[in-house]
A and B are shown apart, each in its own frame.
Chain A
């Protein structure tokens, strides 16, 4: 089991909807990081995992459970999240799962933070993205 979250580790936001990504320049749109009505953004800790293991975790823990194909993932450093006064709650349910919490109440402020996090994130598309999207 992983220890406390550290600033240098990365998180993956698995993407199941094509509107969350820009294929043209392989970047992530802000809406991928907007919180749902319960004020959370679901992510996974990927510290120490090989690339194939990260995809496998997304397939097993996210895509199959939700009945949607895994299109890609947005990787983001914990530091890039924390600097926006957000918190990361590593609930480990399922293993390696965490939630980004502490979003401000104002929707416009949420949007601005989501824009910043998306700009700091790195998009990885599935090799078979064109067939899945």
Chain B
């Protein structure tokens, strides 16, 4: 059996673009694509880490959806933040290890990719359809904000590549 391998720059296998056309050909293409993507989910080797990450997200919400979950008056995780995090996780390329999913004191959800103390990249969502990111790459740093759309912003893809492939 052979497995499909996704390139880092390509959209995730786990989402179907919503910008399809309206003609019958487009609809047929959309259905084929969705069927194909559904099939990719079947092998345990590809579905496992993603499913684990989504399960972690749900657990995070269940444990930290009440105020003061950290003892320092942290804000609760909101359903909107979970929705954005769910979408973001499903946009991640399979070639990148799944992140640790964390709560932040202001109620945002952070996705953390950690290699060592000064090689770490985080992206967080708050439910407002934006991504806030920051990274330490040795003595180099990066931070900024992007909109959460149908694909990962190039700066996030570049940062993950920098962390894992350079």
Interface residues, chain A, with chain B CB atoms under 8 Å away: 16-17, 19-20, 22, 25, 27, 29-31, 34-38, 42, 62-63, 66-68, 106-109, 111-112, 115-116, 119
Q: Answer whether residue B71 sits at the interface, using C-beta atoms and an 8 A cutoff.
A: yes
Most buried by B among A16, A34, A35: A34
Q: A17-B74, A115-B122 are in contact. List 11 more A-B contacts (CB 8 A).
A: A16-B70, A17-B70, A19-B64, A19-B70, A30-B120, A31-B110, A36-B106, A37-B106, A68-B71, A107-B106, A107-B108
Can you name 19 A-B residue pairings with CB atoms under 8 Å? Answer: A17-B69, A17-B70, A19-B60, A19-B64, A30-B110, A30-B120, A31-B105, A36-B75, A37-B75, A62-B71, A66-B68, A66-B71, A66-B72, A107-B106, A108-B133, A108-B134, A112-B135, A115-B135, A116-B141
Chain B, 105-132, CB within 8 A of any chain A CB: 105-106, 108, 110, 112, 114, 116-118, 120, 122, 124, 132
Interface residues on B, range: 35 or more
Q: CB distance A16 to B141 under 8 Å?
A: no
Q: CB distance A108 to B143 under 8 Å?
A: yes
Q: Answer whether residue B51 sits at the interface, using C-beta atoms and an 8 A cutoff.
A: no
Q: CB distance A35 to B105 under 8 Å?
A: yes
Given A29-B112, A68-B71, A107-B132, A36:B141 Cβ within 8 A: no
CB distance from B136 to the nearest CB of A (A): 5
Given A19-B103, A36-B106, A107-B132, A112:B124 Cβ within 8 A: no
Q: How far is the CA of A37 from the CA of B126 in the complex (A)?
A: 13
Interface residues, chain B, with chain A CB atoms under 8 Å away: 60, 64, 68-75, 100, 102-106, 108, 110, 112, 114, 116-118, 120, 122, 124, 132-136, 141-145
Q: CB distance A108 to B144 under 8 Å?
A: yes
Q: CB distance A111 to B134 under 8 Å?
A: yes
Q: How far is the CA of A67 from the CA of B68 in the complex (A)?
A: 11
Among A27, A29, A68, A112, which residue has its beta carbon within 8 angstroms of that of B143?
A112
